[in-house]
Structure 1
Amino acid sequence: MSSRSRGIAILELLTSHPWGLSVGEIAEQLAIPAAATVRVLSSLVESGYVHGSGKDGHYRLSPKLPALGLAFLGASGITDLVQPILDDLAKKTGELVRIAAISTDKLTWVAKSQGARSGLLYDPEAAADVYLPASANGQAWLCCLPDAEIRRLVSDEEINRPGFGSGAPKTFADLMKAIDIARQRGYASVRDSYAVGTSAMAIPIMRQSTRRPIGTLSVAGPTMRMTEARMKEIFPWLQSSAKELEAASGSSPLFAAQ
């Protein structure tokens, strides 16, 4: 792995650890020699993308990288074009609405709107990339792909990743069963999968000219509210919002490469 690749891997890892990690933790999780980890971290600190916290030896992201991301999202039209659509859907459903964009082999969160104003709230600290097998967004994207492509994107080891709820698929066969149901129903849904006590539903956002997926749109909330009956009520609103996003996507360079 080159120094550049190691630097990117460290930045991606630190996005999930806002309080930082030690050199040893970073080296272990990324399987990079400790000496090489120190060298790459030094370069990232010098460039301003990472802060070293001094006494405890932990490293965390500086505001520079998130600021660049926010600047790009603003320039791409997400704020002006997408946010009002998300806000409207969140108001109608009273739940968390999120959009994720497809980038090569990954699905990345790009915007959200919280519709719940009181009571139980579901608003997780999300990693940058969506975990495909256990999430409604991930399954919604996979529904659009041939089975062989799904197998390429999701390995058996990936499905067995710890830290998710009891409703998460345990095998590739479990995942394909969920995808088959989603294809027949018109939307993907999960229960106690991405997070215990929560449920979500999602559909793909398609490029109008090619009918290829460019992202996904989801509604998520506490399972006690997001029942199957409630999802059926939400589905027409979700479809309508996805159509609006499909139309708006042509004006945003964020989706131009899809």
Structure 2
Amino acid sequence: MLETLAQCPAGLPLRDLAHRLKIPAAAAERAVQGLVDGGFLFRSADGTVNLSVKLAALGLAYLGTSGITDLVQPILDDLAKRTGELVRLAVVESDHLTWVAKSQSTQSGLFYVPHTEPEVYLAATANGQAWLANLSDEQVKIVVEKQGLHRSGLGPNAPATIEQLLTQIERTRQLGYACVTEAYEIGTSAMATAIRKRGVGTPVGTISVAGPTIRMTPARMTEIAPWLLASADELGAAAASSPLFSLT
């Protein structure tokens, strides 16, 4: 319910909310009232259900104590400044990736504005493929099938089959970073690599650089790659002292 309302800043009527969640209106009403009592939701004068600022405040407080502000953000800002593009950080949570931080360079007049969904779509994103490259092929199949391989609105280069995805993942393993061009979205390209605590072990997150395809050419990605990998190493060192990277 909270995730659904986070995508609707204007709020939703209770009936629409129940329809989206595929639950009875009475069940939605009970859940809403409990969240209203807890201060997480409020009802507008017209009855629309809205998120309160309490949830955002809790999220910001958690990120502040997790090391994002002091340890992580300067690294993201530096990479964004070097590349002139959007830099994003995702952390591993069990069998998926969640976006947690970003930095947007102000050097260019053409910006890439990503979708706001919290969970990373694995099959067609550079972050997703960078993480999947550290799993076995069998694990990749299980994780991707659970999330779903086919999604509407993807770019023309999104993998349509597990076999195509595994081919792209093998290339990622060879390079040490993932590159996608017009896969998740038309007109955008991105590259990403995994973050490991002190450079070893199981990945705890991923870092990516993304921008318009007209700028993020293969040659430009090759130029950015050393900066991306160096930033991942810095984040790996910071991960040792941040609870944010202890969610796997």
Matched, 1:124 2:119: no
Q: Which runs of 4+ in 1 moved over 3 A?
A: none
Kept in 1: contact 2:86–2:210 (CA 8 A): yes
2:92 to 102, 108, 130: 102
3-state secondary structure, aligned to 1:159: coil
Q: Which residue of 1 is the match for residue 41 of structure 2? A: 50
Matched residue count: 248
Q: Which runs of 5+ in 1 are unaligned?
A: 1-9
Q: What is the CA–CA distance in structure 1 between the aligned matches of 2:50 and 2:166, rounded to whole Å?
A: 37
Which runs of structure 2 are paired with 1:186-225 in the superposition (5 Å)?
186-208=176-198, 211-225=201-215
| CA distance in structure 2 between the aligned counterparts of 1:191 and 1:18, rounded to whole angstroms | 30
Q: TM-score, normalised by structure 1?
A: 0.90
Give TM-score, length-normalised by structure 2.
0.93
CA distance in 2, matches of 1:82, 1:167: 31
Q: Secondary structure at the match of 2:204?
A: strand
Q: State whether structure 2 residue 117 is matched by structure 1 residue 164.
A: no
RMSD: 1.8
After TM superposition, give the deviation of residue 157 of structure 1 in Å. 7.1
Distance 1:14 1:86, change over 3 A: same
Structure 1 contact 85–241 (Cα < 8 Å) conserved: yes
Q: Deviations over 1:186-224 (max 9, x none)?
A: 211112222221110000001237511000000000110
Contact kept, 8 Å, 2:199 with 2:237, in 1: the verdict is no
Whether 1:38 and 2:29 are equivalent positions in the alignment is yes
The SS at the match of 1:224 is: coil
Mark the runs of 5 or more structure 2 residues left unpaired by the alignment: none
1:91 Cα shift?
0.6
Question: Structure 1 residues 122, 233: CA separation in 2 closer, same or farther (over 3 Å shift)?
Answer: same
Structure 1 residues 58-112: Cα deviation after superposition (integer angstroms, max 9, x where no partner)? 3232111111011001011111001111111111000000111111122111111
Alignment check: 8 A CA contact 1:156 1:171 kept:
no
- The answer to whether residue 222 in structure 2 is matched with residue 235 in structure 1 is no
**Contact residue 83 and residue 111 of structure 1 kept, 8 A:** yes
